[in-house]
Amino acid sequence: MIWETVVLALRAIRRNVLRSFLTILGIVIGVAAVITMVTLGDGATEQVRADISSLGSNMLQIRPGQGFRGPGGVRIAAERFKIADVHAIEREIYGLEAVAPISDQAAQAIYGNRNWATSVMGSTNDYLAVRDWQLSEGRVFTEGELHSGRAVCILGSTVVRELFGDQDPLGAFIRLDRLSCQVVGVLASKGQSSFGQDQDDMVLVPLKTLQRRIMGSTDVEAVMVSASDGVSTQAVREDIERLMRERRKIAPDKDDDFHVRDMQEIVSTLTSTTRVLTALLGAVAAVSLLVGGIGIMNIMLVSVTERTREIGTRLAIGALEREVLMQFLIEAVVLSSLGGVFGIILGLSAAALGAHLLMVPFVLNPGIIAVAFLFSATVGVVFGFFPARQAARMDPIEALRHE
Amino acid sequence: MSAMTIESAGQALISLKDITKVYGSGTAAVHALRGVDLKIEAGEFVAVMGPSGSGKSTCMNILGCLDTPTSGTYRFKGMDVGSLSRDGRALLRRNYFGFVFQGFNLLSRTSALENVELPLIYRGVPAGRRHERARDALRAVGLEGWEYHTPAELSGGQQQRVAIARAMVIEPEVLMADEPTGNLDSTRGREIMELLRSFNAERGVTVVMVTHDAGMAHYAQRTVRFLDGLIDSEEMNRKGAAS
């Protein structure tokens, strides 16, 4: 009987194609809006996650002071790290892929008649490992260069472009403030970070070179480490915190005077932010589904009035109250489900186009498609019930007489 | 149906006893029926006549189990219809009654075949059997070849034939016809009456028909006249009685 009723409902819908289409338009747009918003939102979340992963998602940064002050921010006066701290981490922490001490300083890079304000990063070859960064040309530093603090450098691609244009930088000497320094390698381009920084605008020199010849101190500003695959960054972080408290002789009742920042944590913070935005957009779009439901109720009420004689005829030939109720209810549900299907198709198409235009990945979320479809069918039940009950309760004599 | 008892096998198919119907209440009350007694035997062809407001339509609605009397007893095949619920009466109509209306009441934009199938859907007849029976019913009213035409593509006489096929497809005990020729010219009207009489004669279906037209009433065996909520007169028609 249910299947028969669905067939009857489809017949009734087919009998008035244009009106049926207009009836479900609200649902189509509502479902399409929800699907588009959520799919694009998921794409944006995925994009953010991928961006941050390009920084190295299993990367941790240890800095003196409390909290993350951001680039250029003032750090509170806490004891600086020394190279011995870096060696201690290398020696005593289990599960590390690479440990890179870093210090950086703004400097003017000069080649011939060109100059460019950039930042000079002092570190070791491990820096490249931690950041998962490849060279596009040349070589990494040799052990000798690192030990003796030779005046050699590896250039970021932005610096190459600004100083050398189309010329080959390998082997050339550039000046970093007052230090003359030979180019041994060029970094592959990484592009903008998700914080909007140009990651390629930097010059890498051996840590000792920076300390002795540019900064004039033996401080290490921060330590970057990357955990090996399968090692929990949480565990690494706790180990490092314990080690550093010990080395810096911090009493158990005192707070840390250093900070370990886990990239995984930044990833989850940023992705949860975009998720909240996605949910919000989806919720706004869901309101239009509700409006679509009211549209269905409106048309179903008109339809019931219009088909009064039909209902009277059905009742006269022996349709039960619940059969008439089911007929109109199923008609509403079939209508709204059709709207849901068209909405899903439209929404996915719009999302695919939008993802292409916004250059975010297209992420298919089967959950939201199922939810949107079930929701649209539910809209049919809820908003179809009142008109259907009105049809079912008609007096057959009155209904037959209706003009 | 099994719960209903058949009191006496020898009883008339339809029996109304002291039926009254009052619409409204107090001083505004309208007494549509004031105590009607009527018996209809199985296989009869009865014409019901009377001026507007005489109570004949109300009586037809009660006979067709569409309405319930205010007081009095209606027995159909011995069952007390007055005690049935709305759904109980719907089941009774579904199984025993066919209806033909003045305005045809076919579903628009729906083929003749689908219109005729409608009562079978409610009776749960499977699709294949349903098509077959609907085709047979359309053939019996002379509409073979018109199965896939919608009411808008059919003449008034043809539409009424579809309606009769829809009523007859369930092989009812009683065919209730409410001015079946009211919207048709006299030639088409006579064709419809011939059709009703042939179903009555050949299939033994009991026909109860309301009409204004004395010429149409002649096709019946018996004419019942209503006046002011009461049966004014009953007469046997020679022509009908002869057949």
Average pLDDT, chain B: 90
Alpha-carbon separation of residue B175 from A98, B17, B44, B198, B205 (angstroms)? 95, 21, 11, 13, 7
Alpha-carbon separation of residue B18 from A356, B69, B75, B165 (angstroms)? 81, 10, 12, 34
How many whole angstroms separate alpha carbon A146 and alpha carbon A149?
5
The whole-angstrom distance between A374's CA and the closest CA on chain B is 29
pLDDT given for residue A327 in this prediction: 87
Continuous segment of H or E residues that includes residue B45: strand B45-49
Structure tokens that stand for A208 in this block: 């000792």
Q: Is the pLDDT of residue B53 over 90?
A: no
DSSP state of B178: E
The model's confidence at residue B242, banded by pLDDT at 50, 70 and 90, is: very low
How many whole angstroms separate alpha carbon A304 and alpha carbon B188?
33
Q: Is the pLDDT of residue B8 over 60?
A: no
Q: Are B90 and A310 an interchain contact pair (Cβ–Cβ within 8 Å)?
A: no
Show Cβ contacts of residue B200 under 8 Å, excluding neighbours closer than 6 positions.
B43, B45, B175, B206, B207
Interface test with A, best of B87, B100, B131, B175 (most A CBs within 10 A): B87
- Chain B residues with CB within 8 Å of chain A CB: 61, 64, 66-67, 86-87, 90-95, 97, 99, 101, 103, 105-110, 114, 118-119, 121-124, 166
How big is chain A by its Cα radius of gyration, in Å?
A: 33
pLDDT given for residue A278 in this prediction: 84
Q: What is the pLDDT of residues A231-260, one digit of tens each?
A: 888 888 889 988 988 888 888 888 778 888
Q: Are B107 and A310 an interchain contact pair (Cβ–Cβ within 8 Å)?
A: yes
b/e string for A240-249 if b means 16 or more Cβ within 10 A? bbebbbebbe
B94 vs A contacts (CB less than 8 Å): 317-319
- Across the beta sheet with B71-76, what order do the strands follow? B30-40, B14-23, B71-76, B79-80
Helices (DSSP H) in A185-307: which residue ranges? 207-209, 233-247, 263-306
- Left (φ > 0), alpha (ψ -120 to 50) or beta: where does A95 sit? left
Q: Kindly identify which residue of chain B lies nearest to residue A324, measuring between CA atoms.
A: B122
**Domain ranges in chain B?**
46-57+90-236
Q: Are B109 and A16 an interchain contact pair (Cβ–Cβ within 8 Å)?
A: yes
The whole-angstrom distance between A6's CA and the closest CA on chain B is 12
Q: Is the pLDDT of residue B129 over 90?
A: yes
User: What's phi and psi for B186, nearest 5 deg?
Assistant: -65, -35
How many whole angstroms separate alpha carbon B138 and alpha carbon B118?
13
Pairing of strands B174-178, A96-111: unpaired
Q: What is the pLDDT of residues A166-183, one digit of tens each?
A: 889 999 999 998 899 999
Terminal C-alpha separation, chain A: 30
The whole-angstrom distance between A15's CA and the closest CA on chain B is 6
**Range B121-130 contact pairs with CB under 8 angstroms and sequence separation of 24 or more:** B121/A4, B121/A8, B122/A314, B122/A317, B122/A318, B122/A319, B122/A320, B122/A323, B122/B94, B123/A318, B123/B94, B123/B95, B123/B170, B124/A1
How many whole angstroms separate alpha carbon B179 and alpha carbon A150?
114
Residue type, A283: A
A316 vs B contacts (CB less than 8 Å): 64, 66, 93, 99, 105
How many whole angstroms separate alpha carbon A328 and alpha carbon A308?
12
Q: Are B90 and A320 an interchain contact pair (Cβ–Cβ within 8 Å)?
A: yes
Residue type, B38: L
Report yes or no: A187 and A133 within 8 Å, Cβ to Cβ.
Answer: yes
Q: Label each residue of A170-218 as H, E or C.
A: CCCEEEECCEEEEEEEEECCCCECCCCCECCCEEEEEHHHHHHHHHCCC
The whole-angstrom distance between A26's CA and the closest CA on chain B is 26
Alpha-carbon separation of residue A225 from A143, A400, B82 (angstroms)? 19, 83, 90
Q: Are A321 and B87 an interchain contact pair (Cβ–Cβ within 8 Å)?
A: yes
The whole-angstrom distance between B198's CA and the closest CA on chain A is 22
DSSP state of B97: E
The model's confidence at residue B7, banded by pLDDT at 50, 70 and 90, is: very low
Report yes or no: B68 and B16 within 8 Å, Cβ to Cβ.
Answer: no
How big is chain B by its Cα radius of gyration, in Å?
A: 18
What pTM value is reported for the model?
A: 0.70
The separation between CA A328 and the C-alpha centre of its own chain, rounded to angstroms, equals 44
For residue B45, which of B190, B232, B176 has the smallest C-alpha distance? B176
Interface test with A, best of B23, B100, B101 (most A CBs within 10 A): B101
Q: Identify the sign of the CA torsion A302, A304, A307, A309.
A: negative
Mean pLDDT per 10-residue segment, chain A (403 residues):
76 82 88 90 84 73 70 60 89 89 92 91 91 89 92 93 91 91 92 76 93 88 88 86 88 83 78 85 83 85 88 92 90 90 94 90 88 88 91 91 81
Alpha-carbon separation of residue A279 from A46, A275, A293 (angstroms)? 15, 6, 21
Q: Are A1 and B124 an interchain contact pair (Cβ–Cβ within 8 Å)?
A: yes
Biggest alpha carbon–alpha carbon distance for chain B:
56
How many whole angstroms separate alpha carbon A369 and alpha carbon A355?
17
How many whole angstroms separate alpha carbon A155 and alpha carbon A205?
9
The whole-angstrom distance between A49's CA and the closest CA on chain B is 56
Residue type, A392: A
Q: Identify the sign of the CA torsion B142, A315, B89, B25.
A: negative
- Chain A residues with CB within 8 Å of chain B CB: 1, 4, 8, 11, 15-16, 309-310, 312-321, 323, 396-397, 400
Average pLDDT over residues B172-198: 93
Residue A302 sits at the vertex; the CA angle it makes with A33 and A35, to the nearest 5 degrees, is 10
Q: Kindly identify which residue of chain A lies nearest to residue B57, measuring between CA atoms.
A: A397
Q: What is the pLDDT of residues B85-117, one digit of tens each?
A: 999 999 999 999 999 999 899 998 889 999 999
Give CATH superfamily name and number for B46-57+90-236: P-loop containing nucleotide triphosphate hydrolases (3.40.50.300)
| Number of inter-chain CB pairs under 8 A, A vs B | 62
| C-alpha torsion angle, residues A182, A184, A187, A188 (rounded to 10) | 130
A310 vs B contacts (CB less than 8 Å): 105, 107
Q: Are B114 and A11 an interchain contact pair (Cβ–Cβ within 8 Å)?
A: yes
Q: What is the pLDDT of residues A270-298, one digit of tens each?
A: 888 888 888 888 888 888 888 888 888 88
Q: Are B61 and A312 an interchain contact pair (Cβ–Cβ within 8 Å)?
A: no
Q: Are B121 and A321 an interchain contact pair (Cβ–Cβ within 8 Å)?
A: no
For residue B51, which of B230, B228, B234 has the smallest C-alpha distance? B228
Assembly ipTM: 0.90
